[in-house]
Amino acid sequence: MSYASSSARAEINELRRLKTLLPPELQSWVIVEGSTEVNPPLIRCEELGKDEIEIQIDLPKWDNLAIDQRNLLFWHEVAKIQNDTIPREGWEMAALAIGLGGAVGELWVQDGLLLFLALTLCGISGYRLWQKNNNEKTIQEAIEADEKAIALATRFGYTLPNAYKSLGSALKTLIDQTPSRRNRKKYEERLQSLRKSAAKAKERMESQGEPMGRRNNRL
């Protein structure tokens, strides 16, 4: 068997394995596929239609991660689907382009009312784009997805300490491998929040007489 065919088989097997990590209620309408883009993100969700979502994975990069790291990053994306926070192609970019084009045209013909309407359309669509790309909002959504990913991991048999440890390890790896300072900062904020959450979970478990374990919970 050639290296290429062996690699392709391994990728197919990994996609099938990840499909089994979907909660049963998502399996009929969430697709897991390898990304075909040039230099894609490691993993992301994309809405294909009203009732269909695809999780896209850069399989060559994905293969460099440990299985537990992959699982928790995958469940992070699943959590985003469950939280309904995946990015969607909206009307804002088209509206902004129409508004800008209209504004330029009305400046030429000097129609004050139409110019006002075009600028209003630009303002509304621009504000909606800013809302969608607001860094604080996206970070908070990512942190909430991390929390739900931990819960999903325990649903699939992970202990709570190992779920935190695996996601923390994955975030550390992404921090080390991300050249963009802006993107790296997002991972760092998620890791910091995860550490706080793990500390609180440890306190709760110990107060209930269930030691969480220092070694397993180090992030």
Structural domain ending residue among the three candidates 109, 132, 155: 132
Residue 8 located in a structural domain: yes
Q: State the residue for tokens 């994306």.
A: 77
Residues 196-218, mean pLDDT to the nearest whole number: 75
Residues 113-131, mean pLDDT to the nearest whole number: 52
Mean pLDDT of the chain, nearest integer: 81
Provide the residue type at 151 as one letter.
A
Residue 153 located in a structural domain: no
Tokens representing 24? 């049963």
Pairing of strands 30-34, 43-49: unpaired
Q: How far is CA 91 from CA 115, 129, 176, 215, in A?
A: 20, 10, 36, 49
Owning domain of residue 112: 92-132
Cβ atoms 146, 167 nearer than 8 A? yes
Q: For the ranges 42-56, 66-80, 157-171, which has the lowest average pLDDT?
A: 42-56
Q: For the ranges 90-104, 170-184, 185-199, which has the lowest average pLDDT?
A: 90-104
* Confidence band for 65, pLDDT divided at 50, 70 and 90: very high
Structural domain ending residue among the three candidates 77, 107, 132: 132
Residue 125 located in a structural domain: yes
54 and 113 share one domain: no
Q: What does the pLDDT read at residue 113?
A: 55
What is the Cα–Cα distance from 141 to 125, expressed in whole angstroms?
A: 22
Q: What does the pLDDT read at residue 216?
A: 46
In degrees, to the nearest 5, what angle opens at C-alpha 14 toward C-alphas 158 and 147?
35
Phi/psi-derived region of residue 23, left when phi > 0, alpha when psi is between -120 and 50, beta in every other case: beta
Tokens representing 116? 């006002």
58 and 100 share one domain: no
Task: DSSP letter for 95, please.
Answer: H
Q: Give the residue from 62, 83, 61 showing the smallest Cα distance to 143.
A: 83
Which pTM value belongs to this model?
A: 0.76
Structural domain ending residue among the three candidates 82, 100, 132: 132
Provide the residue type at 150 as one letter.
I
What string of H, E and C letters represents the secondary structure of 191-202? HHHHHHHHHHHH
6 and 59 share one domain: yes
Q: Please tell me the total count of domains within the chain.
A: 2
60 and 101 share one domain: no
Residue 177 located in a structural domain: no
Residues 25-45, mean pLDDT to the nearest whole number: 93
